[in-house]
A and B are shown apart, each in its own frame.
Chain A
């Protein structure tokens, strides 16, 4: 009699765990989904504002500040960068030799210990 009662109890508890467990798993992953769908972009945006300040619009950048920066200066800088990266040939690696291969010595291949040496 008591055993039967216990058995029924177990099953009903099983159903409780089934429903709550599934709900929690679903809501947990749903929460994760929402966080990554909406929370993450927001966090990244906030981080950007904190570290760099809000983005400037093109109209906000005044041309007056940069009026000394002419095309000639830009050309000079780009030539310098080009020379530095691609054309520069001042320093070359002077070592041209091939890597020396280590001579492999092993008593197994040594001629001193040859099997037929002591034969008359």
Chain B
């Protein structure tokens, strides 16, 4: 505790010393002008003033001299991210790297020394390359594929439709962004936040809203990768906060009590066939999503083939960890205040929240709609519709938790995983479609 107070004391002293040092800089100028007149004290004076100049020059390079309120706000947000990750366990694997990245990206610095993430040639810029060019998202998808067990989806394929229903959020947000005056590609990239899938959002925004493409009317598209990625990841982390009230609002007590029959056992052969068939079907429908879907199902094939356990193991542990570290850090660092704090970012955050709400409602209502046609123990518990927004596996866990609150014996996790992974496939297809329309 003493140490903390000491450190804070020194920090605050430095900050308060800033105006004082500013005054000294004036007096240093004054000594310089009087040096010619007073030759005797010049030797001593020039030594002090030179030392002072050195200190001042050093001070001009420090963060204290260059700090702006924007940086301070973003650093605070970074600290809040880290706090949320540690204290409430909201996706700590994402929030902590991103939070650290936000702090790193907002340390004030003097431009032109190849320090910042947006300066060509800086180390952070090289790492950011994987985000800008959409290299990291497919690698993450490879790991997700090698992690995911599609068996509950194979056992009950009709749950795939719930994953499609939640994509309403994507397209509704797309329209909302158009109404707010974003151009078509920008709106497409913003819409995909509703897919609740960080890698997909980064992939699509790196293709559509990357600050490089030129629009039909001759203007350059805005660079929205940072705000979109941050919005997508932070809402993904906030799924346990956003979804439960909506679930309670849209379902009745009886509906929440519905017990679904346990999924049938799925043979290994079916699990092996699934990635190949699904890869062929989905990429033939939406070839633009090939990097995402191709890697997803490739990863799953590695897992299910039974012969490539080593590769699958690397993909789902080491590889995805490495990429998550780089992705989280650079996405966080891309929130450099002078580029990030704009009206657009705030609108993106609002649209992102709305898209999550619409996607959740879409899934819930479609599950209720499907129940109209299903009978007996085939009926779905409409709660699992909410898992149709991807956010694997957090939204499935939320569904499970809400289901348990209604009935402590009703375990929905396995059932919720099906629309959950279908949501990943669905949002990747949606991204591919948007890309083929607007790319």
Contacts and interface: CB of A to CB of B under 8 A. Distances in A.
Contact of A29 (B164, B178, B434): B164
B187 interface: yes
Interface string A1-16: 0000010001101110
Contact of B281 (A11, A35, A47): A35
Nearest to A48: B269
B269 A44 contact: yes
A25 interface: yes
A10 B183 contact: yes
A24 B429 contact: yes
Contacts of A25: 164, 167, 426, 429-430, 433
Given A24-B433, A25-B164, A30-B164, A18 B174 contact: yes
A18 B285 contact: no
Interface residues of B, number: 43
A17 B434 contact: yes
Interface string A27-66: 0111111111101100110010000000000000000000
B148 to A, nearest CB: 15
A17 B429 contact: no
Q: Name the prevailing secondary structure of the B interface residues.
A: helix
A29 B167 CA distance: 11
Contacts of A21: 170-171, 174, 430, 433-434, 437
A83 interface: no
A22 interface: yes
A40 B275 CA distance: 12
B286 A36 contact: no
Contacts of A32: 157, 160, 278, 281-282, 425
Q: Name the prevailing secondary structure of the A interface residues.
A: helix
A32 B278 CA distance: 7
B326 interface: no
B174 A29 contact: no
B274 A10 contact: no
B281 A43 contact: no
Contacts of B387: none
B161 A40 contact: no
B184 interface: yes
Interface of A: 6, 10-11, 13-15, 17-18, 20-22, 24-26, 28-37, 39-40, 43-44, 47
Interface of B: 153-154, 157-158, 160-161, 163-165, 167-168, 170-172, 174-175, 178-179, 183-184, 187-188, 217, 267, 269-270, 273-274, 277-278, 281-282, 285-286, 422, 425-426, 429-430, 433-434, 437-438
28 contacts: A10-B184, A13-B184, A14-B175, A17-B174, A17-B184, A18-B174, A21-B430, A21-B434, A22-B167, A22-B171, A25-B433, A26-B164, A26-B165, A28-B164, A28-B285, A28-B286, A28-B429, A29-B161, A29-B422, A29-B426, A30-B160, A30-B164, A32-B282, A33-B158, A33-B161, A36-B154, A40-B273, A40-B277
